[in-house]
Amino acid sequence: MAHPLAAGRARPLAGLGLRVAGPPALTALAARHLALLGATGPLPGAADPGGPGVVSLSAPDGRPLTAEIAWALAAPDGEVTDEATAQAATGVAHIHGRRDGGPRGLAADYLTTVCAALAVQGLLAALVGRARGAGPAVVRTGADLAGLLAVSQYLAAACAEDGEAAETGPGGPPFVTADGVWFEIETLDPLVWRTFWRKLGVAERLAGAAWRSFQFRYATACCPLPAELHARTRGRGWEAVRRAAQESGASLCALRSLTGRLAEPPAPAPWRLSPFPPSSEAPPGERTGRDPKERAGPLAGITVLEAGRRIQAPLAAHLLGLLGADVLRIESPGGDPLRGMPPACGGLSARWLALNRGKRAVEIDIKSAAGRAELRDLAAGADVFLHNWAPGTAGRLGLDGDDLARVNPRLVYAHTGGWDGRLADAPLGTDFMVQARTGVGEAVRPEGEPPAPSLMTLLDVLGGVLGAEAVLAGLLLRERAGHGVRVDSSLLGAAETLTGPALRRAASGSGFRMPAGFRRPLPTADGWVAVADACAGRVDPASVAGMTTAGALGLLRRRGTRATAVTTALETLPADPRFASALTRDEHGAVAVPDPWRFA
């Protein structure tokens, strides 16, 4: 079956012209995604690396629509000037470096990737708003805002009333076997974890004590583990470790190299749009959302039903809510257990609030016939149904796309998953397993360092951002075509988006990985400084050794070197002059990052 994009059936931007100006680092990915959605025009080429990027669409109503993409919208001039300084200032380098005991920049251009997707979201949301009667002409976003969004959960936890509750410190997976296979392990069950290690000869008491650190690595971006766990895998061959996993029920994934990925062509796009057939059935019933006049933003009046857990789907719905949609969470009886995950603000999990503040909630037992009927009734009056259930769950419950399209032919049915059904032997579709399988562990670390997936939830966040982008494309397609659409996005698509530049470099004859020491901050007497990528070659640690951070920055800037201080204590960001005016607290007292767009 032809891919819907290739067949031209799912191009919501068909007939719109595309114009691009400014640094390709800021515009290239946004232009690529807009072209995949049907816009036609020049893709970015060589350009002055300074200044903002500009991506414009010739809108159907004749009025142009422009996205301006900057390095910094919140930070003062000169503080955030490229990917390296954006990662450093917003805390991304600190969080990624927790496993290593000190800040390290991601070798991949993570924040410009997130920022480009946010720019596309802003354009799509504006077009949806215009199709419904009102919409802005200009949307602005910045790499610094993308960074604050990416760290929002970690920041909320660091600034919570009772502070970070989990153990922190360097260390963690991946593990390596006696025959040199690096691998990740995943399980959501503590019994499975203990059984796996027992089969490798680790005392159950020791394995059990390590469970909390392993379980909380998603929240803390670190995973200090007893040295014996690593020693045990180093003493066994890969087949013995695989056998222990099969017998215990644990999921393993050997780290895939970028070289190995070249033999696996990526999907045409990080999402799929599959329109439902036009229907003559009755229009949807009474809407579930609030009065559009109560909300602001280009999606005012749009209702989103979200049945998501953890990060990916809740973040996608959160972004839609920030754009003005009314989001109704479908939670199991008793409510989402992650509401109580420490640390707390005002009685609610600070991390949970980072993704779910402002949403309404209803408890529904979808395992019961009555609960499924209730969800169908809600879907009949909604615009979007978004979930991240495990593969096969929706079909088994009679809540798949075709099922809900029968009760609402104009519904945008969205699934954000792990592997998108593309790998027959896929392990659990979690962030770190997908990083391991797709070469992300190699792409985010420079030459000279062993591959290791980041313990920052890179793909959950990027996957959520791409999921929201897919929903917005579906909403616009619905407005233009008059009927509903199914949209699918995945962590695999997020990984392919992030590793795409490295794979394209390899295809052109350049190396996969960045040079040794790439984006390694420089230590000062009281902290760290990060130097812009273009300036890094002429600065070494000796030039700032013994100086304070303020003194080092003053020296570097007098010499014409762009640099910024590295944020290594997230709890200081609300008072940091670079972001104090942008960060606020919600009614629970939790720190809230700013919306990642500015509309005009």
Q: Which domains does the chain have, with CATH numbers?
A: 4-163+264-507 (3.40.50.10540), 175-261 (no CATH), 522-565 (no CATH)
State the Cα–Cα distance between residues 320 and 471, nearest whole angstrom: 9
How high is the pLDDT of residue 49?
A: 56
How high is the pLDDT of residue 323?
A: 97
**Percent helix, strand and coil across the chain, each to the nearest 5:** 40, 15, 45
How high is the pLDDT of residue 4?
A: 34
Helix pair 312-322, 458-481: axis angle to 10 deg: 50
Which residue do the tokens 């762009």 mark?
Answer: 562
Q: Give the pLDDT confidence of 287-325 residue by residue, as tens digits.
A: 566 655 566 899 999 999 999 988 999 999 999 999 999
CB atoms within 10 A of CB 368: 11
How high is the pLDDT of residue 161?
A: 83
The closest of 301, 289, 296 to 322, measured between CA atoms, is: 296
State the Cα–Cα distance between residues 106 and 85, nearest whole angstrom: 11
How high is the pLDDT of residue 493?
A: 96
Return the bridge partners of 99, or none.
Answer: none
Q: In what order do the strands lie in the sheet with 53-58?
A: 18-21, 53-58, 64-70, 138-142, 598-599
Return the bridge partners of 363, or none.
Answer: 331
How high is the pLDDT of residue 431?
A: 96
Residue burial 483-507, b: 16+ Cβ < 10 Å; e: rest: ebbbbbbbbbbbbbbbbbbbbeebe
Q: Give the pLDDT confidence of 350-364 residue by residue, as tens digits.
A: 999 999 999 999 999
Nearest 5°: the CA angle 301, 316, 340 is 105
Residues 6+ apart with CB under 8 A from 320: 299, 302, 304, 327, 384, 386, 468, 471, 472
State the Cα–Cα distance between residues 304 and 361, nearest whole angstrom: 11
Taking a C-beta distance cutoff of 8 angstroms, is the pair 66, 138 a contact? yes
Residues of the chain under the 50 pLDDT cut:
1-8, 45-46, 282
Return the bridge partners of 18, or none.
Answer: 57
State the Cα–Cα distance between residues 288 and 449, nearest whole angstrom: 52
How high is the pLDDT of residue 5?
A: 36
